[in-house]
Amino acid sequence: MSKMTLKTEGDRYVVVTRRFAAPPEAVYRAHTEPELVQKWMLGPEGWTMPVCIIEARPGGKIRYEWTNGKGGGFSLTGECLELEPYSRLVHVERMHLPDPTPDNHIETRFEPDGAGTLMTMRMTLPNAETRAAMLATGMEHGMEASYVRLEGLI
């Protein structure tokens, strides 16, 4: 659990860091190769990603579709902006619920950390509408409300 940190930075970003016991090349590939992404980028238990398209080049399209197998589902589209194998990715994404949420700009860095990787992901903050829409999709299922307390931030 201590492997991941999540905090706000300034007034625009949420920064997530996570260490992995694999070299940057493997972690980078697991973020850019659809057959790998489909295995882990699933959110709450019970969801799958039957559609995963990543055109890993600047301007390339991203499309993810998730389903909970019970009629619930939503999708995400985006574009790759910058790719520096195996150290850095920049992309924009938006959720479709079904109306598109505002673009979220995300930079992900992969740095060698001993035999492993330190990943740092910097996301622009969603606005209130995005958050409301995210909550409305049922993504909060399984959430522990007490998991992160504001006391941790201040």
Tokens of 51: 């559609």
Rule CB under 8 A: say whether 10 interacts with another protein. yes
Q: Where are the beta strands (DSSP E) in the chain?
A: 4-9, 13-20, 48-54, 61-67, 73-84, 88-96, 104-113, 116-124
Considering the rule CB under 8 A, would residue 36 count as an interface residue with another protein? Answer: yes
Nearest CB to another protein, comparing residues 70 and 146:
146
Contact between 22 and another protein by CB under 8 A: the answer reads yes
Quick one: 51 or 127, whose CB is closer to another protein?
127
Cross-strand pairs, 84? 88
- The terminus-to-terminus CA distance of the chain in angstroms comes to 20
- Provide the 10 A C-beta neighbour count for residue 10: 7
Q: Which of residues 96-115 bind another protein (CB under 8 A)?
A: none
| Number of shown-chain residues binding another protein (CB under 8 A) | 51
Are residues 20 and 116 in contact, defined by beta-carbon separation less than 8 angstroms? yes
Q: Which residues bind another protein (CB under 8 A)?
A: 1, 3-4, 6, 8, 10-12, 14, 16, 18, 20-22, 26-27, 29-30, 33, 35-36, 39-45, 125-128, 130-132, 134-135, 139-140, 142-151, 153-154
